[in-house]
Structure 1
Amino acid sequence: MSNVPHETDRPVRFLEGARVYLRPLNQEDSELYYRTLYHPEVRRLTGTQKHFTKEQISRYIDGKSQDSSCVLLLIALCEDDTVIGDIALQDIDGMNRTSNIRIAISEQFQGKGYGTEAMKLMLDYGFGILNLHRIELNVFSYNARAQHVYEKVGFVKEGLQREALFYNHQYHDSILMSILEHEYRAKYVQAP
């Protein structure tokens, strides 16, 4: 008998890059999602203020799977299927062809280019499959590393929401950034 995993044992690879792939979030992932949500650095970088129970996380996952205005995916390493974070296109507006994007990478996997690759995969899906025109995000002023990654990927700073987040006894600014479809295509899509 072979020790090679059977195809049905492998996670589905919805969007695949060179080092990471994006896959659907399932109920089996609720414990992992719950634990990641309580990592102090993940909470700080995402500005997460609320607490959640395992049951709430389970309902959240169910709800997102039914929500046509959201694409929530886990980020995993190609080499061994280790889940290192999540990424989502949210508030998808088909009429205006807009969406918001968010990403969270576990601390030990930051600074290795995985987030950049995951963002490019999701942007390619948003512009190339969902036919979006504009994708925006917010990043907190204390997260200089993320700001740098977003700019490198092609996002442009549009504005500043002053003191929009209260976290750890003080207010922080939120920076609004966006990328338009023609900007993405000029940077990443090869002409035929």
Structure 2
Amino acid sequence: MQQLNRALESDRLYLRPLVSEDSDMYYPNMLNEEVRRLTGTQRVFSKQMIENYIEEIQNETDRIHLLIVLKEEDRIIGEVALQDIDYVNRNSNIRVALFNEADFSKGFGTEALKLLLNYGFGVLNLHRIELNVYSYNARAIKAYEKLGFIQEGIQREVLYYNHEYHDSITMSILENEFRKKEGIK
């Protein structure tokens, strides 16, 4: 795969924009049962819907949607996004998803989040970044806490998935908390 537009880079990963040509790779990942469960995805997508989505997000100014690529293999392993960027109040929502269970628990999601948090606070001058995580995703909660996210609240039984109700946990990190955690002055 061509290494195009390396937007952000770490030792093991680089992040790059999602482009139209990625729809063939992106679509099957929307069918992965474990990824769907962890993200609470219930809607079924057609290939055309995915193509339209990719086209649509390329023109949005309040979203930065990037693919996570493992440098060593030049292999796409997931996605990370800053969404609903509010430039006036300097806040945003962040999300991350890895596409393959073989890549879970290796720190890739945490590493990608750290790159995007650094960009959000350092370049976009955001003050607060939040996320939502379902209560059954203990691995993700642990990773978010490791990055410095703090639990703010719980939306009780907000997700009905697989015949059960689940809570959604809201977590956030402020710019000064991130800087302190990362040793940035």
Shift of 1:178: 0.1
User: Which of structure 1's runs of 4+ aligned residues deviate more than 3 A?
Assistant: none
What letter corresponds to residue 72 of structure 1 in structure 2?
H
Structure index of larger Rg: 1
What letter corresponds to residue 106 of structure 2 in structure 1?
K
What is the TM-score normalised by the length of structure 1? 0.93
Shift of 1:11: 2.7
Q: 1:82-93, aligned counterparts within 5 Å?
A: 82-93=75-86
Is the CA contact (8 Å cut-off) linking 1:134 and 1:180 kept in structure 2?
yes
The answer to whether 1:110 aligns with 2:118 is no
Distance 1:49 1:186 in 2: 38
Out of 70, 74, 77, the position equivalent to 1:77 is 70
The answer to whether 1:174 aligns with 2:168 is yes
The answer to whether 1:65 aligns with 2:78 is no
Is the CA contact (8 Å cut-off) linking 1:11 and 1:81 kept in structure 2?
no
Distance 1:190 1:179 in 2: 15
Instruction: Give the alignment's Cα RMSD to 1 decimal.
Output: 1.1
What letter corresponds to residue 67 of structure 1 in structure 2?
E
Q: How many pairs align?
A: 184
Out of 161, 178, 181, the position equivalent to 1:184 is 178
What letter corresponds to residue 159 of structure 1 in structure 2?
G
Distance 2:3 2:124 in 1: 26
Alignment correspondent of 1:140: 134
Shift of 1:52: 0.9
The answer to whether 1:149 aligns with 2:166 is no
Q: Secondary structure at the match of 1:43?
A: helix
Shift of 1:32: 1.1
Shift of 1:13: 1.1
Out of 19, 22, 39, the position equivalent to 1:26 is 19
Alignment correspondent of 1:38: 31
What letter corresponds to residue 41 of structure 2 in structure 1?
T
Q: How many percent identity over aligned positions?
A: 58
The answer to whether 1:47 aligns with 2:44 is no
Q: Secondary structure at the match of 2:110?
A: helix
What letter corresponds to residue 138 of structure 1 in structure 2?
N
Is the CA contact (8 Å cut-off) linking 1:138 and 1:177 kept in structure 2?
yes
What residue ranges of structure 1 are gaps of 5+ in the alignment?
none
